Amino acid sequence: MHYIWLLISAVLVGIDRLTKWAVVTNMEPSDTIHLIKIGDTEVLNLYYTLNNGAAFSRLSGKTLFLIIITSLVILWLLFLMISKKVHRPVYLASISLILGGGIGNLIDRIFNSGLVVDFIDVRIINFPIFNFADICAVCGAGLLLLTVIVDEIREHKRKKLEKASSEAEEKAEKETLEEAPETEE
């Protein structure tokens, strides 16, 4: 089952590579293709740009650092999947998404002089331009975070119920001992 999730990661990388290839072969940097426009308001565009940083162009110019950090995270996640230390499908899905996104952008950084191809431009909210790999990584990280929070809440409730149950049993046992008639010898 773990290998299916690795295959899904590979498919996501393939989709990322295909979308970036389509943009690079059909557009010039700074070209815009309007996809959704309501009146004069541009909602969604394809806008070809190159990014030498991470999310929101942070760490611009820190290519080697980004390659090393991304590679370490990818290796760690691959280890978790291959060693089968992670079993729950929701965690495997999260890891698969993060791997797909991370590998997709890592390929760009390594083979495109540290530049990542970005092209999805949601203008209506003035959001930074991103790509399919970014969507995968963010959705995977969001799913992982949400799952960890839900698991922590469930664990907290379980411990609280166990404690209440244990206290109730102790109280009942104590009451039983207090109510028992004393036997004379």
Indicate which residues carry an active-site annotation: 118, 134
Distance CA 71, CA 26 (A): 30
Q: Are 103 and 96 in contact (CB under 8 A)?
A: no
Matching residue, tokens 């109510």? 179
Q: Please return the burial class of 43, using the count of CB atoms within 10 Å of its CB with bins 0-12, 13-18 and 19+.
A: middle
Distances (CA, A) of 38 to 44, 50, 124: 10, 27, 10
How many residues are present in the chain? 185
- CA–centroid distance for 57 within its chain: 18
Count the Cβ atoms, other than its own, within 10 Å of residue 67.
15
- Give first-to-last CA distance, the chain, whole Å: 68
- Report the candidate in 135, 137, 131, 134 with the shortest Cα–Cα distance to residue 22: 131
Give SS3 for 50. Answer: strand
